[in-house]
Each structure stands twice: as structure tokens, then as C-alpha cells.
Structure 1
Amino acid sequence: MITYGHFIGGKRVAGTSGRTAEVFQPMDGSVRGTVALASKAELAAAVANAKAAQPAWAATNPQRRARVLMKFLELAAKANDELADILAREHGKTVADAKGDIQRGIEVIEYCIGAPQMMKGEYTEGAGPGIDIYSMRQPLGVVAGITPFNFPAMIPLWKAGPAIAAGNAFILKPSERDPGVPMRLAELFLEAGLPAGIFNVVNGDKESVDAILDHPDIKAIGFVGSTPIAEYIYGRGCSNGKRVQCFGGAKNHMVIMPDADMDQAVDALIGAGYGSAGERCMAISVAVPVGQKTADELVRRLIPRVESLKIGPSTDSSADFGPVVTKAALERIKGYVDLGVQEGAKLKVDGRGFSMQGYENGFYMGGCLFDEVTPDMRIYKEEIFGPVLSVVRAKDYEEGLRLCNDHEYGNGVAIFTRDGDAARDFAAKVEVGMVGVNVPIPVPLAYYTFGGWKRSSFGDLNQHGPDAFRFYTKTKTVTSRWPSGIKDGASFVIPTMG
């Protein structure tokens, strides 16, 4: 039985609030350990450590900070199997998928090694008579990240990497459902040479979230999770004068045009819809075939593929996906399938009765496929976050585009077609933040930014890429003139450089 406390001031510390939560192993339903739930006082202790350590770290030149990240990459590569095993056991995703989770986080750290370039300001000599103007990027101080259960390596690294590279101290509040990997990442950063107090992990629930939102020394907060919580964090954080970026829910559509390569489209839907048991904010949960012939052919091909999905324990290397994260999540997903049937959608494949032999207490859900889903149904409107794919038929391209644009979420979208004009028109007109053309999960690489539109995102700046360094820094502009015998006298009008 594992006991998780917190990581504060460069070491693991026990929780003192007296409150804990169970950490499950989804593949067999067993309790793997307990995690401490921080009090306001424990969060304050982490902030105090971070605030004390941050000035010296900010004074460390960007190149030396980058070297710490380089060493972290080396250590993380050596610990890859260990991290993937912890992640798979606590989240439920397969080990192969867990390694992908880690890798996408590592890629952002690789990008952050370029911090010296990203921290450069601008300089103009002779902007006015004897006047030079230059700008500086400076860290904010102590910043925080509140991250979800579904990517316990990737999202913490997306938040922490740019924050640390820019010279900030970072407080991570990961999901209490799978805290093992974040705790281990903190140790690897310390081993890589990161000063104690620069990366702190505070485990907890809403009490610690509220403490982060209200603490005056935390200058910025990044969040990934559901839209209702994103709205709450964004509103409360902004009202407390903090810089906040929040990424919420999704209902990602994939439009399949009549000319699409149907084999490619079906493969894409199976992987993007059911990978990681659908517990991805970029999962494709809505297929939009254009035209009756396209729809009939797509559903005909999908049914046997969904029926033959291999579901297994997280340690099974041949499994397509593993269990969902908790029993509560399992019951919620089943409830949505029940609702879809009640609403009149046609359940072509029913995974509610799936049971894993030898793992009967695990949190397993078979793949589900709905056809003839309509936009008024809740299973279309709401994020299910499970292995459930809905087919919404569109009579033509314009209707398919309109479905994507009318939905309240605008995280990711894809179109599958051989027609370059259609793809170009779709990319230009679709009101969604990340677009794939014959790519089902269009997660940008680390040197571009990640972020949705509409109720999928709150705030002006996205995750990773150049936006991350803008989010975690403030710009100072200096207008400078040295004495040179110029006698202007007093002026009472606004200065100009003309």
C-alpha cells in the first residue's frame, strides 16, 4: 500500500490535514494506496518555499536553466519504463499509451531547452534623438498548474516546463486519482539539478484548488479539465488579479466526405474514438459522414471493428485500451449510453455488459457505437469521456460544417477527404481551435500552441509553443537616454519620437 503525501521544498513530506483519498488500480479495482489532501496551510507552506527559492532561480541565466532541463530529459529517459508502469497502474491506460503520454510531455521539455531564445527581448537604437528602447521578458514569480487525471505526465510537463524554463517557481496540483507520476517527476527534476522549492507538488481536492486561487503570491494559474470547473477557476482566479488560462471540455467531430479513403477513415475513427478508452480531450467522439451512401458504408464497416476491439488490463501489450479511471467514471459512461437509447439513438454496438475474465472488479467498459444521433440529444451535446462514438449523419458538406460550428465546444476537429478545395475551405471556415486534415487527433507539436475555441478554452494564451513563454513572463519596456549635452527644457506635452 503506497502513501502519497506532497513534494515541498525538495523532498517528500507527509500530509498533515488528516484528510486522504484512495488511489485505485483500475485494471483490477484494488486500492493501490492513499493520497493526502492538502489543507490551506500546506499549500501556503509550498508557496513559501517556492517564493524563497524563486529569486535565485530567476537570476540563473536561461542557458543554465536549460541545462537542468537537458539533464531531466536524460533521467526521464532512464526512468521511462518505471514512469509508464506507475501511470498505467493508476490511470488504467495501456503501458504503450502511457509511454505516449510521457513522450508528448517530454517533447515540450525539449522545446523549452530553447528558453534562451524565447526569453530574448527587442532593441531599437536611435528610436528618438539620443534615445534607445528595449524590452525584457521577466518571470512572474510563483505560478501554479492544476492538471487532470487523463494525462498525469503530459499535462504537468506542459505546464511546468515553460514556467520553470522562464525562471518561475511552480506549484503543481495534480489529480488526486493518479498522483504517482507527478511525484516521481518532481524527484527527477531535483536530481537533474533543479533547486529545492522550484517544483512543488501539492496533492489535494477543491480545498487546495481554492487555496491556489486565493493565495496572493501565486501570480498565474494554468488548468486543464472539465468546462464547468474551467469556468469556475477562470472566474475566481481572474477576480483575484491572477493571469489564468483554462482548457475545458470537448466534443470533437470528424467529417467524412464521400471521396474520403474509407479504410483510412475507419482506422482513424477506431483509434481516435476508442484509444485510451476515450478519456482524451482530443478524442473523436462524433463521426459526421456526408451523404447517406457514405454514412451507410461507414457504419457498416465500423460495427465489426468496434465489436472486435481488444480490451484488457493495462499491462497487456496487445490490448487496444484498458479500463476507465474509476468505478464512478464507469457508471457515468454507462448512464450516458442508457440515456442515448432513451433519446432514440440507434445503439449498434453495446459495450455495457463487458467483463474482463480474471479482472471482474476492474473498471472496464466495452466500445459503444451509436448511429442516427441528432443534435438535440444530450449524448451529442455533452462530453461523455468514454469509449462511445456517435454517428451524426449530414446530408451535405454545408450541414457537416454547420454541425461543427454550432456546437458549444471547439477543441479539435478533423475532415477526411481527397479534395483539396474542400479541405482548405473547411480549415478556413470551421470555428474550432485545432484542425486535422486526414489527421484524426490534431494535437500540434511542441513548437506550436495547443488550445481550443468557444467553451473549450478560457483565456488569451494557449499551452506550449511561444504562447507558454508569453503566459509565464511579463514584458518590461525601457526607454533610455544618456546625458549628451541636450538641453530640452521642461515639456508639458506628450513625448513623441518625431
Structure 2
Amino acid sequence: MTETAILDHYVGGSAWAGTSTRTGDVYNPALGTVQKQVRLATASDVSDAVAVAVDAASSWRNASIAKRQQVMFAFRELLNARKDDLAAILTAEHGKVISDALGEIARGMEVVEFACGVGHLTKGAYSENVSTGIDVYSLRQPVGVVGIISPFNFPAMVPLWFFSIAIAAGNAVVLKPSEKDPTAANWMAELFSEAGLPDGVFNVVHGDKESVDALLSHPDVAAISFVGSTPIAKYVYETATSHGKRVQALGGAKNHMLVLPDADLDLAGDAAVNAGFGSAGERCMAVSVVLAVDSVADALVAKVSERMATLRTGDGTRGCDMGPLITKVHRDKVASYIDVAASDGATVVVDGRGIEIDGDPNGFWLGPTLIDKVPTSSTVYTDEIFGPVLSIVRVEGYEEGLEIINASRYGNGTAIFTNDGGAARRFQHEVTVGMIGINVPIPVPVAYHSFGGWKASLFGDAKAYGPHGFDFYTAEKAVTSRWLDPSHGGLNLGFPQHD
């Protein structure tokens, strides 16, 4: 019998077992089998890793900007050259198809490229002679050790969004990836070492809630970046801020796509399928609700159904359109909403259960599912399902659609499909959502803007990457300076005034 491999942590520039004897199973979702195990760190293990990061941060923060840029450029080149290897890891552990895995890597690389501009993005400002002989200038300096807690749905992209900027800005990082698909984190850490990053600047500690809590409460961790469900994001924010840390915690979503009568329905149909079922719907920016105006709803549902019939669900290595869900438990939970929809009076137009699969029958499969006439009182509408279930909610017009979106507790992403520029402009002004697409179904901003939602989709003031990223991972100092000439002197106990 072949012994199951165990994935160690990566601390101080090499694999490290730590002290914990606990491990977790890592599945291949397309096969439904355990392919390896991953170590689950104790609080003591996390503390040891943070100590390594503290030591590394003290020297890395003093490395020149030129040196940091050289390492970032080298990492980018290595990542680009070996992206196929990383994509294969993502497909094997998450289940997403190879093309989607490569797309994830490409969007992560955008932030690496943005971080290479650290020299411009961390420079301060200078005001000369604000008062006679006095200058004021600002400095941006690294905060120290950054804890990153990343989700299972983007094992490469989300960590790249965070650690690229944190490291470029001069910080050290302790990354706690999802224990469901952890290998990509180690792979990227090893690649960074090859790129010339000093040992201990980038560390990976695997684990579950024990390791998360240890990061949130550790006194030497200055900042926490998190992506996950809203209840956990709220917990992370409240726990970490109570321990004096700066926090950016990105939570869940229920993204709406409003389709007006003048929209190009072929474009809208394509967009609904692409945004609803890409990565098996396991995206925080997935479109999960289409708000269809009554006059075009039947035609739109027909077009979406036609496109869904052409999709091939199966093993991501076989050129399929959509892969499995991450675990059996998650697949079963997502599938349960189909029965809920029927009991709530909705119409199940396409049922993804029991469809023909191009893959092993033991995989965690659920095909694309379309549910029409979903009442907004149903949990199918209110819950973040995080799977390949697309709901159609019928509305009378723009006003009702906008009201439904703004009433949602989430405010991550939304889209409007219309050929009316006035309606689009009004929508972007009136909708209470952080990321908006106009005839674009997945409005993830490019790297030099910032990613993040409103309401229960974001806890903390800082969004991810872009200008917000460098602001978050650096602390500003304002310096007021005067160099006295030999003739100046004397005492003056009055309050300083500008003259």
C-alpha cells in the first residue's frame, strides 16, 4: 500500500514539519479520492513561523527599493515561465478546468507586475518652506509582519493579490492558505526563494481555525488580509482589530445582473452563463442572480438554457467547460438548494443533478443549474450558494431591479446590461455596490485600481491590491524639519506658529 504524502509548512526558506501531529486530507475533486495530506499547525507552530518572519522583516525592510524590484521582476518571470505547472496543481486540488486556472494565474500576475512599481507607489510628498526655514515631508514604511488568510476558490490569485504588494513594500509574510487546496502556496513560496527572496520573508503555515486564531491574536503580526465568507470575515475583522491590528477582510457576495429590455440578449445570455458557471460558480464575483425585466425574461431564459445545453462538465484536464466542486460536503449543500427552490415555488429549468459527466463518477459533480421565478424570500435568493446555481428573479423594470440590489446585505459586484447610456450612468450612480459592470458581467478591477465591495462584503477600510494595497501595507510618517543656521537661538515658550 502506497503511503500518502504529507505537505509540510514552508518556513525560513525550506519545508518545515512543525510540532503538530494533526493532518487534513487533500482531495482530487474530479476523482473523489485523497491525494495527499497537509499538516495542521498548532498555535505554537504559528508563533515559531511569526518569529522567523519578524527576524526577516528587520533586514528586508532595509533592502533598497532597487533590490526589492529585482526580486519581484525575477519572481514574475519565473511565474510566467512555469504557469502551466501551477495551473496543473490548481486543477488537481480545486477542480477548475485548466483554462480557468491559467486565467486565475494571469490575473494574479497583473498584481505582481503592479507591485514592481513599488518605487513610485511608496514615495512620499515634500513641502518646502512651510514656515520660514521649515520643511515638511512624508515617508511610507513597511508595517512589519503581515498575516494572509486566503480562500480555497483562488489558491494562487488571491495570495498573489496580497503577498506581492506586502513583500514589495518591505514586509514579511505568513500565509495561511486553505487546507483544502494548499499546494499552490508552497509552490509559489519556493519560486520566490528561487527568485532571490531572502529566507523568512515569505512563509506558509497550513492549518485550520487554530492557526487562524493564532495569527489573529499574535502580538507581532501587524496586519491581516483575509478573503472568505461574510460570517468568517466579520469574525476575522472583530478578532484582529481587538488585538490592535489593521485588517482588510473581504467577505461574501450575492451578485446581481440587471437586464433591461433594450439589452442585447445574446450578449446578456453569454454573460450570464460565463459569469454564473465559470469555476463551477465558486467565485465571489460570480453572477448568481439575473434580474430580468418581465418583457424580455422568457426570451432571456430560453437563450441561457440553450447555451447551458452546450456546456461540458467533467475533469478539468479533459478540455471540459466546468469542473467539480471542491468537496462532497459542499457539493451536497449546493445541490440541496435545488429542492428548496422547488418547494418555494420557483421553476427548476435546468437541473444539474444526475447529468452526464466527462470524468470519474466518484468526483464531486454538480452540473449547471438554472432556476426561474425565484422569490426574493427564498434562501435560494438570500444565501450565498457558491456553486453552479443561477437564479432568475423577474422584475417590472429598472426601479424594481435597483431596489432589490440595494436591499441586499451584500455589496460586492453587480452588472447592468443595456444599450441606454443614460440608464447605465444612472445605475452606476445609484447602486450601493463596490464593483460595477456595464455590459461586463465580472467587473474585477485591473491591478492599478483596487478590489473590494461595500456593506457585508468588506470589513475594514482598505480594499485589495492597487493603491489601497500599498496604503494598507505601509504606515505613513510626517516629518517636520528645520536645520538651524549658527546665528539662530534663544528661548520661546509660546505655541509654535507659522510665519
Is the pair's TM-score, using the shorter chain for normalization, greater than 0.5?
yes
Query: Aligned pair 1:272/2:275, yes or no?
Result: yes
Query: Partner residue of 1:55?
Result: 58
Which position in structure 1 is the counterpart of 2:318? Answer: 316
Aligned to 1:242: 245
The 5 Å alignment of 1:216-295 reads 216-290=219-293, 292-295=294-297
Say which of 293, 299, 302 aligns to 2:301.
Answer: 299
Which residue pairs with 1:199 in the alignment? 202
Preserved CA contact (<8 Å) 2:30 2:359: no
**SS at the partner of 1:297?**
helix
Which residue in the other structure is 1:329 paired with? 330
1:43 aligns with 2:51: no
Letter in 2 for 1:348: V
- 1:417 and 1:37 mapped to 2: Cα distance? 49
Secondary structure, aligned partner of 2:216: helix
User: 1:26–1:89: 8 Å Cα contact kept in structure 2?
Assistant: yes
Distance 2:68 2:74 in 1: 10
Show the counterpart of 1:19: 22
Among 76, 85, 88, the alignment partner of 1:82 is: 85
Which of 11, 27, 30 pairs up with 1:8?
A: 11
Indicate if the aligned counterparts of 1:146 and 1:172 stay in contact, CA closer than 8 A: yes
Residue by residue over 1:353-406, the C-alpha shift from the partner in whole angstroms, topping out at 9 and shown as x without a partner, is 235365110001011111111211111111000000000111011111111111
Structure-2-length-normalised TM-score: 0.98
Q: What is the aligned partner in structure 2 of residue 108 from structure 1? A: 111
Give the corresponding residue for 1:436: 437
Partner SS state of residue 342, structure 2: helix
Superposition deviation, residue 320 in structure 1: 1.1
How large is the RMSD of aligned CA atoms in angstroms?
A: 1.1
Question: What does 1:359-374 correspond to in 2, within 5 Å?
Answer: 359-374=360-375
Structure 1 residues 18 and 417: alpha-carbon distance in aligned structure 2, compared to 1, 3 A threshold: same
Unaligned runs of 5+ in 2: none
Tell me, what secondary structure is at the counterpart of 2:136?
strand
- The answer to whether the aligner puts 1:469 opposite 2:470 as a matched pair is yes
Residue aligning to 2:175: 172
Distance in 2 (CA, whole Å) between partners of 1:10 and 1:469 is 25
Q: Is the 8 A contact 1:15 1:37 kept in 2?
A: no
Name the CA distance, whole Å, in 2 between partners of 1:276 and 1:122.
43
Identity of aligned residues (%): 52
C-alpha displacement of 1:13? 1.3
- Deviation per residue, 1:34-57 (Å, 9 max, x gap): 000000111111111111111111
- For residue 269 of structure 1, report the CA deviation from its aligned partner: 0.5
Quote the offset at 1:491 in angstroms: 2.6
Question: 2:352 maps to which residue?
Answer: 351
d(CA) in 2 for partners of 1:37, 1:193: 28
Judge conservation of contact 2:169–2:473 (CA < 8 Å) in 1. yes
Partners of 1:2 and 1:263 in 2: CA distance: 48
How many aligned positions are there? 495
Q: Which letter maps to 2:285?
A: M
Aligned equivalents of 2:88, 2:5: Cα separation in 1 = 14
Superposed CA offset, 1:127-149 (max 9, x none): 11110001100000111100000
* Distance in 1, Cα, partners of 2:399 & 2:255: 17
Is the Cα contact below 8 Å between 1:356 and 1:362 reproduced in 2? no
Determine the C-alpha separation between the residues in 1 that align with 2:284 and 2:218: 29
Q: Does 1:378 align with 2:370?
A: no
Q: Is this contact kept in 1: 2:46–2:205, CA < 8 A? A: yes
Counterpart of 1:342? 343
Contact 2:18 2:41 in 1 (8 A): yes
Query: Does the residue aligned with 1:84 lie in a helix, a strand or coil?
Result: helix
Q: Which residue of 1 aligns with 2:161?
A: 158
Amino acid at match of 1:466: P
CA drift of 1:15 comes to: 4.1
Aligned counterparts, 1:443-482, within 5 A: 443-482=444-483
Q: Does the 8 A contact of 2:313 with 2:358 survive in 1?
A: no
Secondary structure, in 3 states, of the residue corresponding to 1:59?
Answer: coil
Answering whether residue 67 of structure 2 is matched by residue 64 of structure 1, we say yes
Residue 126 of structure 1: aligned partner: 129
**Amino acid paired to 2:465:** H
Instruction: Identify the match of residue 33 of structure 1 among 30, 36, 40.
Output: 36
In structure 1, what is the equivalent of residue 401 of structure 2?
400
1:266 partner amino acid: G
Give secondary structure in 1 for the equivalent of 2:395. coil
Question: Quick check: 2:226–2:250 contact (8 Å CA) kept in 1?
Answer: yes
Q: Secondary structure at the match of 2:298?
A: helix
Q: CA deviation at 1:487?
A: 4.0
Contact 1:158 1:464 in 2 (8 A): yes
DSSP 3-state at the match of 1:81 = helix
Q: SS at the partner of 1:393? A: strand
Contact in 1 for aligned 2:418/2:424 (Cα 8 Å): yes
For 1:264, what is the secondary structure of its paired residue? Answer: helix
Secondary structure at the residue paired with 1:392?
strand
SS state at 2:402 partner: helix
For residue 45 of structure 1, what is the amino acid of its counterpart?
D
SS at match of 1:31: strand
Structure 1 unaligned segments of length 5 or more: list them.
Answer: none
Alignment partner, residue 183 of structure 1: 186
Q: Which amino acid aligns with 1:329?
A: H
1:165-213 deviations in Å (ceiling 9; x for gaps): 0000000000000011111000000000000000000000000000001
After superposition, what is the alpha-carbon deviation per residue over 1:231-288, rounded to whole angstroms, capped at 9, x for unaligned? 0000000000000010000000001110001100000001000111000000000001
Over 3 Å counting, the alpha-carbon distance change for 1:488 and 1:370 in structure 2 is: farther
CA distance in 2, matches of 1:422, 1:488: 67
Distance 2:354 2:493 in 1: 81
**Alignment check: 8 A CA contact 2:252 2:284 kept:** yes
Alpha-carbon contact 2:175-2:203 (below 8 Å) kept: yes
Matched, 1:141 2:144: yes
> What is the identity, as a one-letter code, of the residue corresponding to 1:395?
E
Query: How far has the Cα of 1:488 moved from its partner?
Result: 5.9
- 1:442-484 Cα shifts (integer Å, max 9, x gaps): 0000000000000000010100101000000000011011112
- For residues 367 and 497 of structure 2, what CA distance do their matches in structure 1 show? 68
Aligned-partner residue type, residue 316 of structure 2: S
The letter for the 1-side match of 2:97 is T
Q: Are the structure 2 counterparts of residues 358 and 236 from structure 1 closer, same or farther at C-alpha, using a change threshold of 3 Å?
A: closer
Q: Which moved more, 1:470-479 or 1:60-69?
A: 60-69
Hey, what's the Cα distance between the residues in 2 that align with 1:233 and 1:109? 26
